[in-house]
A = this chain, B = another copy of it.
Amino acid sequence: MLLDAAGELMRESGYASVTSRRLAAKAGLKPQLIHYYFRTMDDLFLALFRRVEDDLVRRQNAVVGAEKPLRALWDLISDRQDVALAYEFVALANHRAAIREEIARFGDKFRKAQIKILDQILAKSGVDTRVWPPTFVSVLINSLARSLAVQDALGAKLGHPEALAIINRFIDQVDKGSN
């Protein structure tokens, strides 16, 4: 419950506003209880990150069974809430070594799993994997999805429709061949 509240606070107001006092207020507890469950705030941030991490890996694995797997993957990595949280964690990692290491570890783990999944999706789709190697597609779609999501959230959308048209065409083509 505390981690839920912490995540919400972080997405809405940034990592700097996740303080023991504010978090406690949101959860209807006394600030001291935060330190009972998580000795330091670093412990809390790490616990939250690991939780989000597990959830993302689990959801990513689930796209394999979807009717339109690449679309499902794209939607997953485009999720506004997730992207906002990811940005906060990256900024947080800038001055918390423990977080930075965990993010780096996760980044590679998530990508490794994603490449495996894309390998299957692309093979079934009939797309030429010499032109579109799964590794490249992974880097490509994650970059695009996150950039578009964050810029959209900020309110800068110039060029997005044109880009999305091309991206959607690619996704649909892959998912069409997939069935």
| A positions within 8 Å CB-CB of B | 11-17, 84, 87-88, 90-95, 100-101, 103-108, 111-112, 115, 133, 135-136, 138-140, 142-144, 146-148, 150-151, 154-160, 162-163, 166
Contact = CB atoms under 8 A, between A and B. Distances in A.
Contacts of A95: 12-14, 16-17
Contact of A154 (B103, B135, B144): B103
A142 B14 CA distance: 24
Given A140-B163, A158-B112, A151 B94 contact: no
A154 B13 contact: no
A33 to B, nearest CB: 24
A168 to B, nearest CB: 12
A34 to B, nearest CB: 18
A91 B93 contact: no
A47 B95 CA distance: 23
A94 B15 CA distance: 9
A152 to B, nearest CB: 10
A166 to B, nearest CB: 5
Contact of A155 (B12, B104, B154): B104
5 contacts: A11-B94, A90-B91, A93-B154, A111-B159, A135-B159
A112 B16 CA distance: 32
